[in-house]
Structure 1
Amino acid sequence: MNCGLEFHDSRVASVYSLGDVVTISFEAAYLHLSDGVPGSDRGTGWTQAGSLEFGSASLPGTPDIGDGWIVAGALRVDGGDELRLVPVPFNIVGSIQATFTFSNGYVLDMRGKSSRLTLTGDASFVEDFPG
């Protein structure tokens, strides 16, 4: 089974920095599971708590994420294509550029030199995904 985190429809609990690591803490990261390509092929949707860390990064002020719902988001690694869905597991080193738009209109732009996704707790079923 293949898995990917889709930023759209994920809910963030907080965004914070500790040293040069910025962490996006997900209350409910939206996950696609599929035997094929997650988010494209038929499968299921789940939510799970977790965090996405960015190394060698800094926050541009105090993020105003409102109620935490991401309405659009993407990562770009080493200037490549935008990833609106990242594979699980995800642990990458390179020039990371990330943009997340929250439901209140706030846009968080991040830059870093690495990124790592960690999921915690149990996943909760949300829906069947027709593909």
Structure 2
Amino acid sequence: MTGSIEQGTSQTHGNTHILHFLVRLPRPMEKVWPAFSTPEGLAAWCTPADVLEPRLGGAVTLRDLGSGRVTAWDVDRVAEYRVEGGRIRFHLERDGEEGAALRFTHEFQGGTESEQRWRARFERLIETLEQGH
């Protein structure tokens, strides 16, 4: 199975921008979960996690995205981080026997993030997973 970025949508409501992506990943949920839930996993494709307490209410600092708290944590399924710049949610679902589907949401204010930046990050993630990391 190969990974793919199925869709990316961007909405703006006043000052708030909301990005949604559906990303098909070439590994099962248990294998891709660390990419969203560990400092090493996030650093490999997204941004260094200077702080990450892997539990509901834990502290989180994502170097390029801000500091805040873990606002949802369901092992192997959901990691959500609320940081100064907004909310970042990774929601994993099974996608056949060998894959996982990531439903991603980033809600933020200001113009620091973009659909293109996240698309590039997800391309790095897929490449990393396809290489077996």
TM-score by length of 2: 0.32
Whichever structure has more strand as a proportion of its residues is: 1
Whichever structure has more helix as a proportion of its residues is: 2
